[in-house]
Structure 1
């Protein structure tokens, strides 16, 4: 007969209670059932565990067995709690990578609403550009990615999270900031453009022509905004990226081109099942993004 964890639990409960009646009540079993379980355990070991039938004094074997049983029961119970906690999404480790504008806007909103749901969950948040996020997802180094899709993103499950309009960023004293007309591509033909990887993704032909003659290119948003602030030129960025930087001394003017939008997707590996905690977080991200994108809750409120 193999020893079972419930045999050890029954013995330890009797040893701590000092009698069968109280132990049976604690175990939710009858005294006769508990007595039979103890007899099976003693028969298996070949020696008695108690000095008398009153079960109030342990033999040397009983003392040793109790010490080992309590250690094993603690480990077993901790393991069960960990497994059940993981299944309930109250434990675990979730790795999230998001483009900086989302990492600095929507993700804080998610945790401000739902942080108590993740008290025992280890959450790792990294902000990086979209191409890096796609790379990390492909290597299974990220569970959830929030980024724009590339051209060859096979093996990823994607869900459109939101659209973010592009606009011109300029100083508050720039003619474009004072202009009452909507900004179109023709108005930018004679402007010095500070190109960036985000604006380079706009597929409109006037945008490609504008970027083709740009002599300045920068990738870091802080550096881009600093150059705009000093009057070196103008740039084109998604509105959420601008709001996340809280550059109130600069002006954002949306482009009239309806195609000048960034599509931000919620991404994960298609062949990987997310942990319960990651699934819970994914749902909260979707709900929060939907709420914040409702009319009256546009990107300007994502500060």
Structure 2
């Protein structure tokens, strides 16, 4: 016996899941609230289960509903993929996209992309997972994120790593610090001053440890953090200096912070898009992915070069 529900019923279900309200879902799919309720009742009758617990104040998924929701989302995403070559389904559908990214990317680059994406696709919800490089990689491999933006993953067999740019590490300091007057700073010079570092859980720490095997600090850092953005806050407060990726630095006209290129050696990292190998992106995620590629020359490339001398 066939299952007696159709695409409209699944879309109604997804709208309620996404918006948490029958009224808002009905408005989103352009039908009356009673009509949307009938679609949900039809889907529940076809499946033989209750998908939502409804009160006068809230709508929540039942246990079975929570299990069914990812399957319904996948069915609709697979259909969108099949139709993508025929028409632009992303402009007329509800949906969501989840991007995992390292904090420097999340703070200094992705906001402008999210704003542009929302302007073009206002009905698609964007979720950012700002995490360490290792956590970004794990989120992509597990499927928690559609894709990631990071500097780790190029050696992993489960993922594809599309390079966006290569950036160098720079010495971050206050404008009134002695290093701010230099045109370049060696790593040995950097470590002569009080400095802040990232801890051993950071992907940047692993990269630097591998690149600086011949440069040993004479004294430990005054403070360790997990994220570069936290480190910059400490530098701004006058706690010392730090080695950071150039993209993490604020704009040149920042009133307090500046940066100087680090040399002997020059240490770089590659930033790229990390996605699961062999798994096509859903249309909502594909559109965001493409927007990042379209933006890299004007946004990320400028950020990577702004401290170069």
Output the TM-score relative to the length of structure 1: 0.63
Q: Please give the alpha-carbon distance, in whole angstroms, between the structure 1 residues aligned to 2:90 and 2:164.
A: 22
Say if 1:132 and 1:155 are closer, same or farther in 2 by CA, change over 3 A.
same
| Change in 2 beyond 3 A, CA 1:293/1:207 | farther
Pick one of 185, 188, 193 that aligns with 2:187: 185
Distance apart, 1:102 and its partner CA: 1.5
For residues 129 and 174 of structure 1, the distance between their equivalents in structure 2, rounded to whole angstroms, comes to: 29
Q: Structure 2: 5+ residue runs without aligned partners?
A: 6-34, 44-71, 84-88
Give 1:110's match in structure 2, choosing from 104, 113, 117.
113
C-alpha RMSD of the superposition: 3.7
Could you say if the C-alpha distance between residues 260 and 254 of structure 1 is closer, same or farther in structure 2, counting changes exceeding 3 Å?
A: same
Q: Which residue of 1 aligns with 2:197?
A: 195
2:179 to 172, 176, 179: 176
**Alignment check: 8 A CA contact 1:185 1:207 kept:** no
In the alignment of these two chains, the number of paired residues is 228
More helix by share: 1
Q: 1:172 to 1:204 in 2, by over 3 A?
A: same
Q: SS at 2:185's partner residue? A: coil
Distance, in Å, in 1 between the alignment partners of 2:288 and 2:171 is: 33
2:156 maps to what in 1? 153
Structure 1 residue 260 displacement after superposition:
1.2
Aligned counterparts of 2:231 and 2:271: Cα–Cα separation in 1:
21
Do residues 241 (structure 1) and 242 (structure 2) align?
no
Determine helix, strand or coil for the equivalent of 2:118. helix
* Alpha-carbon shift at residue 226 of structure 1 (Å): 3.8
Q: 1:243 touches 1:300 (CA, 8 Å); kept in 2?
A: no
> Which residue pairs with 1:119 in the alignment?
122
**C-alpha spacing 1:300/1:152, structure 2 compared with 1 (3 Å):** closer
SS, match of residue 160 in structure 1: strand
Runs (5+) with no aligned partner, structure 1: 6-67
User: Which structure's CA Rg is the greater one?
Assistant: 1
Q: Secondary structure at the match of 1:237?
A: strand
TM-score norm. by structure 2 comes to 0.61
